[in-house]
Structure 1
Amino acid sequence: MATVKQHPVLQNRVPQTFSSLLDTFFNDAVSNRRVQGFTPAVDLWETEATYEMEVALPGLKKENINVEFEEGVLRVSGERTFNKETREHKYHRVENLYGKFRRSFQLPENVDASAIDAQFENGVLHISVPKVEEKVVKHQISVK
């Protein structure tokens, strides 16, 4: 009987599907490469009337956040800067990530771009995208 040594990072995260295997691979590859900037966490959900999104942006001011919609893509970008007054401190550990970020989300065609609402409170950006009536993609026409 042969023993198989598991990678310590993957030990508790066994992918269930090929798709989740690819997601794990790319997420691990990105998270192991510490680049300047960060990727804020996002929660997305849908109601009957809207698409909703919350973006975790602790420590940012609303002046440092940009939300734009163009050609069906909603983009959230900004920058978290390191406090220059504290650079003289002798840090033992800095785990917060600083720098620029940009997240893009392809939205369905049935949105009302002119009524998108963005609210920033307590480090959370909440974006609400209203739906409009579904466009007709296929319609059966009776022959007379």
Structure 2
Amino acid sequence: MDIIEDEKEYLIKAELPELKKEDVKVTVQDDVLTLSGEHKDEKEEKGKKCHRFERSFALPGDADGTKVSAEFKDGVLTIHLQKFEKATPKAIEVKIP
């Protein structure tokens, strides 16, 4: 799993070979991003089990948990986590009577 940061967002890339988009879930709750999934065998045989995983990350203070998007392509899950927009300083002229 790779986490890349730039001035606008955090980018999380996770390689999930042999998984399908339907088998992966991404949630954000209480400033925690959670990636979970289940690896299922197409053929269910006696004695074989499916494998589940879950990984959670506390969101950094500058991450906006309401602006998250994800895409899944060729076994790679890419999560875009936007940062809060920084307020630009604004000069206000004060008139003195």
In the TM superposition, residue 112 of structure 1 has moved relative to its aligned partner by: 1.8
Unaligned runs of 5+ in 2: 87-97
* Count, aligned residues: 84
Give the alignment's TM-score, normalised by structure 1.
0.53
Aligned equivalent of 2:83: 131
Aligned equivalent of 1:100: 52
SS at structure 2 position matched to 1:125: strand
Equivalent residue runs for 1:19-98 within 5 Å: 42-84=1-43
- Larger % of strand: which? 2
Give the alignment's TM-score, normalised by structure 2.
0.77
- Aligned equivalents of 2:83, 2:42: Cα separation in 1: 40
Query: Sequence identity, in percent?
Result: 40
- Larger % of helix: which? 1
- Aligned equivalents of 1:83, 1:117: Cα separation in 2: 28
Paired amino acid for 1:104: S
Aligned equivalent of 1:120: 72
In the TM superposition, residue 115 of structure 1 has moved relative to its aligned partner by: 1.6
Unaligned runs of 5+ in 1: 1-41, 88-97, 135-144
CA RMSD of aligned residues (A): 2.0
- Aligned equivalents of 2:22, 2:70: Cα separation in 1: 13
Greater Rg by CA:
1
Aligned equivalent of 1:109: 61
- Aligned equivalents of 1:119, 1:101: Cα separation in 2: 18
Flag the structure with more relative contact order, 1 or 2, with Cα contacts below 8 A and sequence separation at least 6.
2
